[in-house]
Amino acid sequence: MNVWTSSTGIAMPDLVPISLRRRWVELGWCPDRDIYAVFSEHVRACPDTPAVIDPAGTLTYTGLDTLVRRIAAALSESGLSPIQPVGDAGTHFTCSDVRGPPA
């Protein structure tokens, strides 16, 4: 099995064949970086741009990054390691869920 290593040194199994992964990188379809690195770059470039828009409101990339960091901290505090995969089946959040009830 192939192993992909993130920019922070976390090694994870890569189920995509190396030749296909390299081709995706060449075509620009895969940046060959972990998803959070790509997301963080976008947060820095467009901090106030809407990232999530739903009937309850809008969440900017900065707001989404704050939420992602909060969730990551909670997962870490619960004892999960940085390399342990976490899945989500069917949980949906709205902008009002993130912000809490209106004052």
pLDDT by residue (tens digit) across 57-76? 899 999 999 988 888 888 88
Torsions phi, psi of 94, nearest 5? -115, 170
Q: How does the average pLDDT of the chain come out, rounded?
A: 79
Higher pLDDT residue, 21 or 90? 21
Ranking 15-19, 54-58, 86-90 by mean pLDDT, the lowest is 86-90
* pLDDT tens digits, one per residue of 77-97: 888 877 677 766 555 555 655
Q: Where are the alpha helices (DSSP H) in 28-60?
A: 35-45
Cα–Cα distance for residue pair 100/66, rounded to 1 Å: 14
Q: What is the pTM of this model?
A: 0.62
pLDDT at 55: 85
pLDDT exceeds cutoff 80 at 37? yes
Structural contact between residues 37 and 44, judged by C-beta atoms closer than 8 angstroms = no
DSSP 23: H
Q: CA-to-CA distance for 44 and 42, rounded, in angstroms?
A: 5
